[in-house]
A and B are shown apart, each in its own frame.
Chain A
């Protein structure tokens, strides 16, 4: 029998677990957190300013033009949506597959999902020419006929996909938090604190009946979220695949996008959790190196899937015999945007290969650097798909370049401000590891204890 490795290190008792995990929520943050928070918040304010400028002045501030109608905003939208996938995958799919190691990373991964989807959700709204009319994208009863939305448009599917995903993942996350909120409520010393967490915990008393309902709801939500993991990015990929543009019009897009999303999502989870481990040293016992290694394996696996998709795209471009398609792919790799293509391939396919080595999989600096490369690579993947396909399509007379402006950089960087602000706040007000879920796996891998 293969010996199981313990999922929680350091000979913890149940009380230790509660204390360790509640500590960041119950103590005043240190200088590091404050400085990080204020930087992130400054960035967020800058982001709001940028959005304000773009909305009030016009989309023309960005580099989007004719023929490249979509640019940084859509690229970054897909980037953030992709990031969101890891959370749901870990919390829902791994839950259904009874992967016990997920328990300690699920909470933060889910939080990341929620924040990433929130960050992403802003982009389609502000990237329109007239954002004040964005509500027209929703099918609501109106006095114009009524005039409905176009159900044939992938952008509309996108509206539904993203809003459903945002709702379900938020509910899922919240339901998981309920028992932990109750713990925080019970430990609260001040009245206000007790009231807030009391309200958040929805009157949780930890009775058997509560647990029984809770587990059922959690499983049902996991079941509901699982298809969403696949569907959201599939539908996001339809934005491209359903069009007639060479380089977009590809049947491989749905699985390719999903694999890419999981890849990028795990990349971001690793980035954040390495930082969390540094910020809260006690968490190292819960988010162990074994957890990180498991995620690195997934990164390598999905990275190779994405690599396969890159290769397969080229094969089909040649095999299809369509000259436009052929040109689009040759242009990707060797056209004026060759650098973006090779950044993408290097970051997504070549660099994660280092995880074949166990030492690399278990080295925090290595995995941190690789995960950053994965993030960069996946942003460039969307850039390559969006921009290099658009900039040279059917009629050479239309060919042009993306007119990258400083505002493009501002929205891209600014969006990190929003994401990081939310994530840093989360670390201080929510238990960053699921107390209720870690306790049942405390015994796993412990010698002399043989529970189920």
Chain B
């Protein structure tokens, strides 16, 4: 080899010595391209072989990195910008009330449910349930696909569920349908289109329908039929009322349409305008009781007597005659356990507010043997007072509530007689919600086929042949007519997460497969759309409808006159009650228990008892004393042979002959979260010829060994004479007395200056009913973890906003007040000065910012917070959401907090930033009211007002100037950014002056459990 070079590096190179040439050949030692390659041609191949093998080995040894799809919008849908939310108008039906909602979605997943503003159905705001039903969409326990059970039809017991396809399932169902004897059991259905399909289906398969609601309204309708000849539930207009008497009618919590009622009620409670008075006669203290100006505990068996006595007194005052049947049922004040003169006093007020009053009663708590009679007397009262047609109208009445316990009796009869052999169950869980007396687990053995549309493998589903999961309301189309004439659309906001099919779609598919199609449309959406387009004229109107969420307006009604023949219902009225009466009642948050698997609702303190994760026997303090019971003492209750062991909750303001137990608890199957929480009170209901009875049940209460820990989030119910909730009577307020005891505070420091915005919040205690919708909304918006009963017992609940409930006065009939408390965003924030690492600091807009990343977790801020609104992550609480698909409920705009950091209300800073960005993009100043915090958006009564204090015209600035405004713990001079408006009580009783009272006030509830047990 010869190399020609002009330049040389060494003499060796220059002279081309053999040694040099040798090194030259080996210069690239690592190279496989050696000079030998050319000689045998094998080295290169070997190299390739080795390379190939090593590549293969590398590939075999390592697992391919998992494919992680980022946002899969190669082509973006036109109406979606990644990172920006979309909003959809929709509706939610919670079993008693329909609510117009606005669902926020991000990248196609629903994230937050707010009340649709200024909607004609319920005004604004929503209920805790409507807010919380978001989480049930992502419930990991939901049935994933159509399921067929392997079950022995001769002996229906626990079964093995096997996933199937819809085709397979439909074949099974149709085979059953062909056998005949079809029965269809549903709840009252507020959707006309669905009703129609169901009707057609029933006709097509030659079956029979049964309708029943766990929250009954049948006696109301029956009495309306008797009194006025119309089968409906009338509309109540609390906004037009000046004097409201509730006889166990919990219209603010659980009866009929509480959100709408709350909304209307607040309108009638303006202390600077017209302020209605609310009087409550109640067996079980409810939200309505706790909001009443005057409240009178009565026995459940005296509901009718109170109504009759009132009617008698009203008639007397009006010089009218009174039916014999009515006066026969009336009782004196003493017999009713009231202070003498009470009935006359209330009656006098009713008369003086004739035409502006409402007497209301109803719901589960009144479903006794006398319930129809009670409703008749109530109707009579309203008619006599001229309220009928003014505050109570058929305009906007609900005609869809057609559930009846008669149907239930018939169903059982029909199954036993063999008339019904195949039962389709929709929206009901008979094995759970039927009274034990029906012995439905035996009745069900007679069935040849049981088909359920439930979303959980629940008590009924385990006995069913076929589970055809109907999916979540957010996945399905529907249209409702909650108030006659006014239609509301429910549009899906996500494709079904699981392989589910709406009930209507199932009906359409089954009918088609059965050979008798019930609609020409392919599916329910098309059917619905065709209907609406036909009614509205064009497809464009359909889209407008989707945007507005409702169409039509409530139909007009006509005045009705009371038919005195209705008094016949009083003929068989039972006059005497039992010594101790059990009343089953729905809780304001959980209601009938359909949403029992939603952790937000389970951990939401009951507005009345402030207890979470349980039901319990409520007893009066006097009863507790007599029976030597304390909070959490275990008792055995027995209702005609049915026994249950329950803990005791000592409830102030409850009649001492009444004990109460909430329904909706005691799930045994399917719902893993709700499983084994509390006891199933439905089983205790009694059945007679007329229907199912929930109220005034004869009960034996026996103390048994042991105590039980009730998780109570507020262990102390007295304000200890401190001015925490400033309160005054309407009379004093009108006279100009300041309802607040004010302090002079001063500071030697200059105040902070704010050039831009200065955020503030005002909260009107006068219209806060304590419904707790804000708490759930806050959960949803801010990714607040749920900790479970064990940790609530240890005082570790994470609520950023809480509703404090205090009692005042005698424990037998105390006044109650509610106060929402969240971070007060103090000007002189005590938390800020003590944090050693500056993890909580003041923003230039006056917010008290919490920097999670910087927080070390000394908890000094919480100790120094006079309001104790800070919450600490004691463990990895966020793991609650770490179950697929539950994590999809997390709001991507809000950090999920890790263990060891403090968190608290931020005034929804992400919403502030959002609104500011939007205003900036649109190059305009921010409008007042544009920013709404989550709690504000949820509130049905507009209690919470948020805005810019630098804007003198903003709503919140004006409230800061109001006469009733005060700051909580003013004398501490933390200078909160939250102002409360003093509560005004419309009562004739003399109320104490707003000063620090001595600590002579009794602890109305002792030191409740949280204190005693932890």
Contact = CB atoms under 8 A, between A and B. Distances in A.
Do A and B share a complex? yes
A66 B805 CA distance: 18
Interface residues of A, number: 53
B863 A64 contact: no
A395 B902 contact: no
Contacts of B435: none
A396 B806 contact: yes
A66 B902 CA distance: 11
A397 B804 contact: yes
B972 A394 contact: yes
Interface stretch (B61-69, B201-209, B793-801): B793-801
B836 A150 contact: yes
Contacts of B901: 129-130
B858 A243 contact: no
Contacts of A70: 859-860, 863
B915 interface: no
Interface in A43-79: 57-60, 63-70
A1 to B, nearest CB: 56
B1014 A153 contact: no
B775 to A, nearest CB: 14
B875 interface: yes
A390 B860 CA distance: 11
Contacts of B47: none
A298 interface: no
B167 to A, nearest CB: 50
Interface in B743-799: 791, 793-797
B859 A129 contact: yes
B880 to A, nearest CB: 14
Contact of A327 (B717, B871, B876, B999): B999
Interface string A132-163: 01101100000000011110111110010000
Contacts of A245: 863-864, 866
B199 interface: no
Contacts of B872: 59, 66, 69, 129
Contacts of B318: none
B836 A130 contact: no
Given A149-B838, A152-B833, A66 B855 contact: no
A6 B805 CA distance: 70
Contacts of B328: none
Contacts of A65: 794-796, 874, 1014
A323 interface: yes
A156 B839 CA distance: 13
Contacts of B722: 323-324, 394, 396
Interface in B946-985: 968-969, 972, 974
A264 B860 CA distance: 25
A398 interface: yes
A231 to B, nearest CB: 18
Interface in B808-863: 819, 821, 830, 833-838, 854-860, 862-863
B864 A243 contact: yes
A393 B874 contact: no
B835 A150 contact: yes
A150 B838 contact: yes
B863 A243 contact: yes
Given A397-B806, A401-B1014, A403-B1014, A66 B868 contact: yes
Contacts of A402: 1014
A128 interface: yes
Given A394-B969, A403-B794, A128 B858 contact: yes
B992 to A, nearest CB: 15
Contacts of A392: 716
Contacts of B883: none
A400 B863 contact: no
Contacts of A208: none
A244 interface: yes
A155 B346 CA distance: 60
B900 A69 contact: no
A245 B862 CA distance: 11
B875 A58 contact: yes
Contact of A153 (B724, B860, B999): B860
Contact of B830 (A60, A243, A400): A243
Contacts of B14: none
Contact of A136 (B797, B837, B860, B873): B837
B836 A153 contact: yes
A242 interface: yes
> Interface on chain B toward A: helix, strand, loop, or mixed SS?
loop
A59 B900 contact: yes
Q: Which of B720, B793, B856, B898 has the most CB of A within 10 A?
A: B856
Nearest to B869: A398
Given A336-B1011, A399-B716, A400-B1011, A393 B876 contact: no
Contacts of A159: 836
A401 B794 CA distance: 8
Contact of A58 (B714, B900, B1010, B1013): B900
B517 interface: no
B494 interface: no
A60 B716 contact: no
Interface string A384-411: 0000001011111111111100000000
A66 B862 contact: yes
A390 B795 CA distance: 13
Contact of A147 (B796, B835, B854): B854
Contacts of B1014: 65, 400-403
A242 B834 contact: yes
Contacts of A393: 866, 868
Contact of B838 (A148, A242, A390): A148
Interface in B713-744: 714-722, 724
Nearest to A130: B900
B874 A244 contact: no
A149 B819 CA distance: 36
A209 to B, nearest CB: 45
Interface in A230-283: 239, 242-245
Contacts of B802: 397
Nearest to B996: A323
A133 B855 CA distance: 9
Contacts of B793: 403
Q: Which of B720, B819, B876 has the most CB of A within 10 A?
A: B720
Contacts of B838: 147-150
A60 B1011 contact: no
A130 B796 contact: no
B795 A129 contact: no
A148 B1007 CA distance: 44
A394 B836 contact: no
Given A59-B874, A395-B867, A397-B806, A130 B899 contact: yes
Given A58-B876, A65-B796, A69-B872, A154 B867 contact: no
B791 A395 contact: no
B68 to A, nearest CB: 28
Contact of A398 (B855, B868, B902): B868
A165 to B, nearest CB: 18
Give me the 9 closest cross-chain CB pairs, A-B, nearest first: A129-B857, A129-B900, A60-B874, A65-B795, A397-B804, A69-B859, A130-B900, A403-B794, A155-B836
22 contacts: A58-B900, A59-B874, A65-B795, A66-B870, A67-B868, A129-B856, A129-B899, A130-B856, A155-B836, A155-B858, A243-B830, A244-B864, A336-B1007, A390-B863, A393-B868, A395-B804, A396-B717, A396-B724, A397-B802, A400-B715, A400-B1014, A403-B794
Interface of B: 714-722, 724, 791, 793-797, 802, 804-806, 819, 821, 830, 833-838, 854-860, 862-864, 866-868, 870-876, 898-902, 968-969, 972, 974, 996, 999, 1007, 1010-1014
Interface of A: 57-60, 63-70, 127-130, 133-134, 136-137, 147-150, 152-156, 159, 239, 242-245, 323-324, 327, 330, 336, 390, 392-403
Given A244-B974, A327-B720, 11 more contacts: A60-B791, A66-B862, A69-B860, A129-B873, A149-B836, A149-B838, A150-B835, A153-B835, A159-B836, A244-B866, A400-B1014
